[in-house]
Chains A and B, each alone.
Chain A
Amino acid sequence: MNNNRKLMSIFGIAKRNISNRKIRSGIMIAFVFILASSLYISSLLINSMNLGLEKTIGRIGADLIVVPQEYENNMRSSLFLGECSTFYTDRSYMDKVAETEGIQQMTPQLYIASLEAECCGLPTQIIAFDPETDFIVTPWLQDINKKEINYGEVIVGNGVVADVGSTIKFFDIDFPVVGKLENTQTGYDYCVFMRFDTSKIILESERFKSLVDSTIDPDNVISAIMIKAKNGANLNTMASRITYTYKIPVKAFTTNGMFSAISDNLDNLTSFSSILVTISFILAVLALICIFTITINERQHEFGVLISLGATQKQLVLIIVLEAVMIGLIGGVLAVIISAVASFIFNNAITSALEIPYLDNSPSDLIPLILKTLLIAIGSSILASLYSAIRIGRAEPITLIKGDE
């Protein structure tokens, strides 16, 4: 006979208890899974939204944005999500705005939604800028080693389907693509940038006139004024002055103010999500406590037998806690794997449905999230087992041997 078989350890005893009680273990793992996956997904969504918002605000480069009154939402959606719209107002309003104290630089932009891009029939946001006064797009050109763009040329955002050297068609007109920006993970990734004089080609085209607006004056339209303030200027005062003093139909926002609605929504989402995760945690722990209590009650005789064979009460507690650790670990790992794979596969559907620019799947941000999820999964499982473990640890051996109701 083989007398050299490896002897089981306390860990092995706990592992055998888990693996031989598949249904009970499966139910407990399921509760941990629900808790861990809801934590993972809600944290991922909130972190992604926060990061998207930070990047968008950081990327804009302007301290104040002035837009036509009724197009505030269009501007916000375009910058944050890359959603397209065409809106404009009178260029002459720039003269009034320029009277505001505290302005260091200001530059106009024009937003036009294409009817269709070459691929797949979805509109692209065209943003026209003034090369002489621009301080927003020009720095991005320098990032890609481009000093300027010429009349008739376009630069595309990273997410636009066009390569450098190819052409992109808008309103039946081909525009050569001379540059592609880096990935910014903001709405600008889906925009196409051209000079104001290039945009006139579109505004004067038959297609634009027949399908969008035939009355537009190409020399006299802008969609937004981007303002850089002097150091120390009070941005809120400047914004109020522009909005209320000049009696022109525009609204001025600080960059943070432009996204305050999104920020507020994000705060609400964070609170809601925290409440949801807390409730989920409490319910899962309560469910696990119930299951641990019931099953360990049923196993009192088993523990009593172990004591009669020489197990210390510390060993019994260790068996229970190890079982809890394994359940927490299995549930947590399954939750992380399935949530991560699902969020990766359904990235586009999720970002589109929840109106967020992107899901943050970068390893540097995911690793802390994964660790946090696993810790909470294992921690909640251990917490749920503690009551039963302590009861068993303190019970009289004979009580355990006799079992209890």
Chain B
Amino acid sequence: MELKVDKLTKKYSRGEKEFFAVDNISFSLDKGEFVAVIGPSGCGKSTLFSMIAGLVKPDSGTVEMNGESLLKLSKDEFSHLRNTKIGYILQGQNLMQNFTVLENICLPLYLGKDRNTDRAYELIETLGLKELMNSYPASLSGGEQRRVSIARSLAHNPELIIADEPTSNLDPENAKLITEVFMKECKDGKSVLMSSHNLELVANTDRQLKILNGKLIN
């Protein structure tokens, strides 16, 4: 999977003032690459990720995946892409409280046409969630919930993984486990785009992109 982002821009208004959340950012991501996006809070990382995943429409610029422009896709087509080729890990706590751990992990499969659960069960083993399969999120610790979140975003075997601060507020053990999962995905030919403040984690990536005030510095 190859990702190419070219001159992506997004402007927001705060009262009467306008500001660039993402200002003219261009980069590319090759198959099997593990890239970290770093920068202070509010620098535009989440907005950038949202635009790539089709959750926000950019004001200008292009996003291409395997040579095809993503911005021409309709809402439903982008949804289908998020259900098949993109795995998006949202920042913070995002589990569905009404569903068990297993059901949360299988959610992308409930929503899509591909109903193969093998990968879901593999991830449950890898992330040490076997004993918690029938538990509800309210009874899980923060680390356990984050592992479930990650398993959920990988259950449909996506080619591109976009992770927004996947290890924030996690203990070193959990953070390490999650890093290892991403590294394994890259070895299997998936691309990972991740934002993080954790320098130890970032050190394991192939490349780092620094963003400040919406602009790519390096």
Contact of B111 among A17, A20, A311 (CB under 8 A): A311
B82, B96, B102, B110: residue with the most chain A Cβ atoms closer than 10 Å: B110
- A13 B110 Cβ-Cβ under 8 A: yes
A310 close to B (CB within 8 Å): yes
- Chain B residues with CB under 8 Å of A10's CB are 110-111
Is A307 within 8 A of B98, CB to CB?
no
Contact of A8 among B54, B94, B110, B130 (CB under 8 A): B110
The reply to whether B117 and A309 contact each other, CB–CB distance below 8 Å, is: no
Write out the residue numbers on chain A whose beta carbons fall within 8 Å of the beta carbon of B108.
309-310
Q: Give the docked Cα–Cα distance between A383 and B162 (Å).
A: 38
A180 to B81, CA, bound (A): 78
Q: Mark B173-196, 1 if CB is under 8 A from A, else 0.
A: 000000000000000000000000
A10-33, CB under 8 A of B: which get 1 and which 0? 101100110011000000000000
C-alpha gap A302/B76 in the complex (Å): 18
Contact B98 A308, beta carbon cutoff 8 Å? no
A1 within 8 A of B: yes
Determine the main DSSP class of B at the interface with A.
helix
Q: Which residues of A contact B80 (CB under 8 A)?
A: 310, 312
B103 sits at the interface (CB 8 A): yes
A9 near B: Cβ within 8 Å? yes
A205 adjacent to chain B (CB < 8 Å): no
Flag whether A313 is at the interface (Cβ < 8 A): yes
Please tell me if the beta carbons of A312 and B117 are within 8 angstroms of each other in the complex.
Answer: no
Q: How far is the CA of A10 from the CA of B57 in the complex (A)?
A: 27
Binds B, one of A59-67, A139-147, A396-404: A396-404
Contacts known (A17-B98, A398-B56); A306 close to B107, Cβ less than 8 A: yes
Chain B nearest CB from A197 CB (Å) reads: 81
Contact B56 A3 (CB under 8 A): no
Instruction: Name, among B90, B106, B124, B153, the residue most crowded by chain A CB atoms within 10 Å (CB to CB).
Output: B90
CB closest residue in chain B, given A301:
B94
When distances are taken between beta carbons in the complex, the residues of chain A under 8 Å from B130 are 1
A20 to B138 Cα, complex, angstroms: 13
Interface of chain A, main secondary structure:
helix
Alpha-carbon distance A16/B130, docked complex (angstroms): 22
Q: In the complex the two chains form, is A310's CB within 8 Å of B156's CB?
A: yes
Judging by beta carbons under 8 Å apart, are B111 and A7 in contact? no
Contact of B118 among A3, A13, A21, A315 (CB under 8 A): A3
Q: Which of B96, B112, B117 contacts A310 (CB 8 A)?
A: B112
| Nearest-neighbor residue (CB-CB) of A314 within chain B | B76
Residues of B contacting A398 with CB < 8 Å? 50, 55-56
Q: Tell whether B121 is near chain A: CB-to-CB under 8 Å.
A: yes
Q: Within the complex, what minimum Cβ distance (angstroms) separates B8 from chain A?
A: 15
Instruction: Give bound CA distance, A315 to B112, whole Å.
Output: 10
Give per-residue flags for B41-81: 1 if the beta carbon is below 8 A from chain A beta carbons, else 0.
00000000010011111000000000000000001100111
* B84 interface contact, C-beta 8 A: yes
- Cβ of B99 within 8 Å of any chain A Cβ, yes or no, is yes
Give the residue of A7, A308, A312 whose beta carbon is less than 8 angstroms from that of B88: A308
Chain B residues near A247: list those with CB within 8 A: none
Q: How far is the CA of A336 from the CA of B117 in the complex (A)?
A: 42
Check B96–A305 contact: CB distance below 8 A: yes
Residue of B nearest to A9 (CB): B110
| A315 & B111 in contact (Cβ 8 Å cutoff) | yes
Closest to B75 in A: A313
Closest residue of chain A to B76, judged by CB?
Answer: A312
* Bound CA span A193–B103, Å: 74
A309–B107 contact, CB under 8 A? yes
Point out the residue from A16, A305, A309 that lies within 8 Å of B83, measured CB to CB: A309
Beta-carbon contacts under 8 Å, B107-135 to A: 107-112, 115, 117-118, 121, 124, 130
23 A-B pairs in the complex with CB atoms less than 8 angstroms apart? A3-B117, A5-B117, A7-B106, A7-B115, A7-B117, A8-B106, A9-B110, A16-B98, A21-B98, A308-B53, A308-B82, A308-B88, A308-B94, A309-B107, A310-B84, A311-B111, A312-B76, A313-B79, A396-B55, A396-B56, A396-B57, A398-B50, A401-B90
- Per CB-CB distance, the 4 closest pairs between chain A and chain B, nearest first, are A310-B83, A20-B98, A397-B55, A310-B82
